[in-house]
């Protein structure tokens, strides 16, 4: 598997959390997206990345404002960078 940047790892975790908060399984999300379950599994496991359009579609299906996820990712990245400083 390719190395995942810390920032993308944060994004990935936020996407998983959003799906779970929506009480959706990978399978139910994939069905709503008209994609195979492996599509969701691969971006959640970091095997592939979501492009912007895919991200917007996934967010819509989950029922979350994409700006909410981006804000959360931005905040967590900032917190992580503060923790790295001595």
For residue 2, what pLDDT is reported?
Answer: 54
Beta strands in the chain (DSSP E): none
Residue 77 counted as domain residue = yes
Exposed, middle or buried by CB within 10 Å (0-12, 13-18, 19+), for 15?
A: buried
Determine the structural domain holding residue 24 and report its residue range. 6-84
State the pLDDT confidence band at 70, using cuts at 50, 70 and 90.
very high
- Number of structural domains the chain divides into: 1
Q: pLDDT tens for residues 7-47?
A: 999 999 999 999 999 999 999 999 999 999 999 999 999 99
Distance CA 81, CA 2 (A): 22
Torsion of CA 8, 11, 12, 17, to 10 degrees: 160
Q: Tell me: the pLDDT tens digits for 54-64?
A: 999 999 999 99
CATH of the domain at 64: 1.10.260.40
pLDDT of residue 83: 72
At residue 20, φ and ψ (nearest 5 deg) are -65, -40
pTM: 0.87
pLDDT at 50 over 50: yes
Position 80 scores a pLDDT of 87
């Amino acid at each position: 598997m390719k190395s995942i940047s810390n920032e993308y790892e944060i994004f990935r975790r936020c996407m998983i959390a959003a799906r779970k908060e929506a009480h959706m399984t990978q399978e139910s999300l994939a069905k709503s997206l008209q994609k195979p379950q492996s599509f969701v599994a691969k971006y959640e496991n970091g095997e592939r990345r979501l492009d912007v359009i895919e991200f917007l579609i996934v967010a819509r299906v989950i029922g979350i404002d994409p700006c909410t996820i981006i804000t959360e990712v931005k905040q967590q990245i900032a917190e992580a960078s503060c923790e790295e400083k001595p």
